[in-house]
Structure 1
Amino acid sequence: MNSYTLAGRGSRLLLRLRLNGQRRLNSTKPQDQAKDVPSRSTTIPGPGMAWIEPLKEPFRAYGRMQHRSPYITQLSTTLIIYFLGDLSAQKVASDEPYDPSRGLRALIIGGISSIPNYKWFMFLGNHFNYKSHARSIATKIVINQTFFTPCFNTYFFGMQSLLSGQTLAQTKQRVIDTVPVSWKNSWKLWPAVTAFSFTFVAPQYRSVFAGVIAIGWQTYLSWLNMKAQKEEDERATVSAAKAPLTAPSTALPAA
């Protein structure tokens, strides 16, 4: 047997081994191949992160609701937020029993403003987006604090006054007493909330994230409104006490 015969047999043997290996690879079941490849979607969290999984499902359900019926979801969420905020404010700021009329006013105010507020933040999220993320966030914060916050606070306190039966002059005084201080204090909270929301929170979850923060903020606004109302009542009492009494006329009719 010469060298050419051995070389030919060796080539055929090598080709046969390659074909057999390719057949085995092709015959492997897809599920068997998947066992060797880690999947991100089926990764089981470690013991330290397992507690997060039950918390994700309510947010996923809310995101699905928000996608299907954004207006109904927003209205329902806002009513819950305003009810809890007013309930908390009445418990914190007053020793008197719960006043359902105040709670009803809060629900009316929240219900009217829910959809416009939702539209505003959708507009804010879709605009002022620049190449620089820091510039985008700073612009959104400045525009929100300059335009939305004072307008909303004026609406909130003005409606609180009007729905409680106050006159236009009294409503104007309520706005003067509450809007500047509430706008000033809003800078301590909402810029950070806005920056975090537009940086880390997905659009479908931003309303519920802001809503959780807004429960505490609505508590503060309701407390500030009740405080202003008490001060106005005290001023009215003092003014009434200082007013001169009108003496009845004792003059005799002319003869």
Structure 2
Amino acid sequence: MNITMSRAWALFKAHPYISNVVGYTTLFASADLIQQSIVTTWDDIDWSQTARVAFVGFCFHANFNYHWLKGLERMLPGGGAKRVSGKVVLDQLVAAPATISAFFIGLSVLENKEDPLENWREKFWTSYKALNFSLVPPVARTVFVGGITLVWTVFLCHFRQQKDDTQTKPPSH
């Protein structure tokens, strides 16, 4: 392990909460920037959208995942097929719906949408269609999940921006 990795690991061990929450929030906001850079030019980035994504990531996702993953480790400590399977099942049944819901509803609230549940109703089930807990030590698990979430959030941000062509809505007057 080189000196940079040793220092990063020492930082995680000394300040696991702050390291994980800041790391997760950074990855979460980066996901929106990646998604936007795929569909637009860098000059046309909607920084207020990225700020909203970062806000939802910090206020809910990073904190929720930090405490959720610690709680899962307390409930089902260690590895082994049975415990890892239990963690994955609980994560998919509890955390996945909560975090997907917080993403869609939180951003709609921050955008002052008339119906903050509309986007969630339209896109939740499509979005909700495993993370291996045995390879990552608990002290770094939140930021690791944040890295995985980076890819997932790119998808969610992209999907959320898509217009639903399958539904025709009457024009509003």
Normalising by structure 2, report the TM-score: 0.86
Q: Distance in 2 between matches of 1:79 and 1:209?
A: 12
Q: Distance in 2 between matches of 1:99 and 1:202?
A: 36
| 2:46 counterpart of 1:126 | no
Check the 8 A contact 1:78/1:110 in 2, yes or no. yes
Check the 8 A contact 1:79/1:111 in 2, yes or no. yes
Check the 8 A contact 2:24/2:143 in 1, yes or no. no
Match of 2:135 in 1: 200
Between the aligned residues of both structures, percent identity stands at 21
**Which structure 1 residue ranges, 5 or more long, are not aligned?**
1-52, 185-190, 244-255
Runs of 4+ in structure 1 deviating by more than 3 angstroms, as ranges, are: 93-96
Normalising by structure 1, report the TM-score: 0.60
Q: Distance in 2 between matches of 1:213 and 1:153?
A: 14
Give the number of the structure whose alpha-carbon radius of gyration is greater. Answer: 1
Check the 8 A contact 2:16/2:140 in 1, yes or no. no
Q: Distance in 2 between matches of 1:164 and 1:215?
A: 22
Alignment of 1:56-135 (within 5 A): 57-94=3-40, 97-113=44-60, 114-129=62-77, 133-135=80-82
Q: Which has the higher contact order (CA 8 A, sep 6+)?
A: 2
Q: Distance in 2 between matches of 1:151 and 1:201?
A: 22
Match of 1:188 in 2: none
Match of 2:106 in 1: 159
| 2:171 counterpart of 1:239 | yes
Alignment of 1:34-53 (within 5 A): 53=1
Q: Give the root-mean-square deviation of aligned CA atoms.
A: 2.4
